[in-house]
């Protein structure tokens, strides 16, 4: 673990470099092999050749989407774990993924929705609706929003949505065929328009999270301590929950439900920068992006020329590392 803040700054700089390196690698490597110089010239002076077109229209959106979605999922996972005070929490626990998936499946079954653009709209509505239900359910009652109620209401609502999804998919094989790939999560062949629409909100969400990180440190000491020190606990929880919806909701709407990043990256990050959120959040964003970029690159090579869904690769790459961290960090 890195203890000094000088050390953390250095780590942050190196991690950012690694992030940028992965971003460019994602543009360069794949089925159509290009070189680094071609990639650079595609941006400097685009001559309309196939390689340049591939880079601009296929690779670049894909790399940017992977980087942004990864960053958002990991950060929202860290927020969730802190709000619920449960290390097993992740955005999917709030019902965001299940809600998004359910609405997309409804769209496919009842409204013959086909374009990714409309998947995104349905997904976003689903994420927001399901989060709204969870938030209202866990806020009613005498003692307001407690972590326990949030987790339980989230688990119940997401189970409800995912079982209804399963129901529709088992009686409708065509719909299953159509959404199976989307269900596994992928960042490939998403139009850049999707990202452009969501990008500003995601960046604002991330920035607010970074700025409010110290409030989260207070909250982590417990509700009583935090409110004793003058914090409006309810408001802070609400803002952070809203950030989670924006970050995770837009991510799932763009890329489908990519699980697991939100749960493992925060653990991995905390194992080397500690528990202070002003460090945890930025590192989460960087490493979430890196994991998704690397997984996406790997997904192109495993069964070339076909592709493995990136949600599968995040698990295959992330799990061994995660188990190593879990064993080391929570040693006897």
On whether the CB atoms of residues 325 and 271 are closer than 8 A, the answer is: yes
**Coil, strand, or helix at residue 302?**
coil
Rounded to an integer, what distance in angstroms lies between the CA atom of residue 69 and that of residue 190? 12
Q: Is 312 in the site for another protein (CB under 8 A)?
A: yes
Site for another protein in 240-259 (CB under 8 A): 259
Q: Is 138 in the site for another protein (CB under 8 A)?
A: yes
| Shortest spacing between CB 226 and another protein, in angstroms | 21
From candidates 11, 23, 137, 298, binder to another protein by CB under 8 A: 137
Nearer to another protein, 195 or 280 (CB): 280
**Where does the chain have alpha helices with state H?**
5-28, 36-44, 50-54, 60-84, 96-111, 116-139, 147-171, 173-184, 192-211, 213-220, 223-228, 233-255, 261-273, 277-301, 310-329
Rounded to an integer, what distance in angstroms lies between the CA atom of residue 249 and that of residue 242? 10
Nearer to another protein, 20 or 317 (CB): 317
| Interface with another protein: number of residues (CB under 8 A) | 56
Nearest Cα neighbor of 157 from 126, 131, 128 is 131
| Shortest spacing between CB 171 and another protein, in angstroms | 6
Q: What's the half-sphere exposure (Cβ side, CA atoms, 13 Å) at 100? A: 31
Q: Is 212 in the site for another protein (CB under 8 A)?
A: no
Which DSSP symbol is given to 143?
A: T
Binding string, residues 68-107; x marks residues near another protein by CB under 8 A: ------------------xxxx---x--------------
Which DSSP symbol is given to 230?
A: T
Q: Is 167 in the site for another protein (CB under 8 A)?
A: yes
* Residue ranges that bind another protein, judged by CB under 8 A: 86-89, 93, 137-138, 140-142, 148-149, 151-153, 155-157, 159-160, 162-164, 166-167, 169-171, 173, 176-177, 180-181, 184, 259-260, 263-264, 267, 303, 308-309, 311-313, 315-316, 318-319, 322-323, 326-327, 330-332
């Amino acid at each position: 673990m890195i203890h000094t803040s000088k050390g953390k700054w250095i780590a942050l700089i190196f991690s950012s470099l690694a992030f940028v390196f992965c971003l460019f690698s994602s543009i360069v490597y794949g089925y159509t092999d290009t070189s680094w110089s071609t990639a650079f010239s595609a941006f400097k002076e685009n001559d309309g050749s196939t390689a340049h077109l591939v880079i601009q229209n296929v690779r670049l959106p894909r790399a940017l989407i992977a980087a942004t979605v990864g960053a958002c999922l990991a950060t929202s996972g860290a927020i969730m774990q802190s709000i619920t005070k449960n290390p097993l929490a992740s955005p999917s626990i709030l019902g965001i993924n299940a809600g998004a998936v359910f609405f997309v499946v409804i769209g496919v079954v009842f409204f013959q929705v086909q374009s990714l653009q409309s998947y995104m709209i349905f997904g976003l509505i689903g994420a927001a609706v399901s989060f709204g239900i969870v938030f209202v359910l866990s806020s009613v009652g005498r003692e307001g929003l407690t972590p326990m109620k949030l987790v339980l209401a989230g688990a119940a609502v997401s189970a409800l949505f995912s079982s209804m999804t399963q129901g529709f998919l088992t009686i409708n094989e065509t719909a299953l065929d159509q959404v199976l790939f989307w269900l596994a999560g992928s960042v490939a062949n998403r139009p850049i328009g999707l990202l452009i629409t969501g990008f500003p909100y995601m960046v604002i969400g991330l920035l607010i999270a970074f700025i409010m990180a110290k409030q989260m440190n207070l909250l982590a000491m417990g509700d009583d301590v935090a409110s004793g020190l003058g914090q409006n606990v309810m408001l802070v929880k609400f803002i952070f929950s809203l950030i989670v919806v924006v970050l995770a909701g837009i991510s799932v709407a763009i890329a489908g439900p990519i699980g697991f990043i939100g749960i493992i990256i925060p653990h991995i990050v905390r194992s080397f920068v500690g528990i202070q959120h002003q460090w945890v959040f930025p590192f989460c964003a960087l490493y979430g992006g890196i994991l998704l970029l690397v997984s996406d690159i790997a997904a192109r090579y495993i069964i070339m020329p076909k592709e493995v869904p990136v949600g599968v690769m995040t698990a295959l790459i992330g799990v061994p590392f995660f188990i190593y961290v879990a064993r080391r960090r929570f040693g006897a």
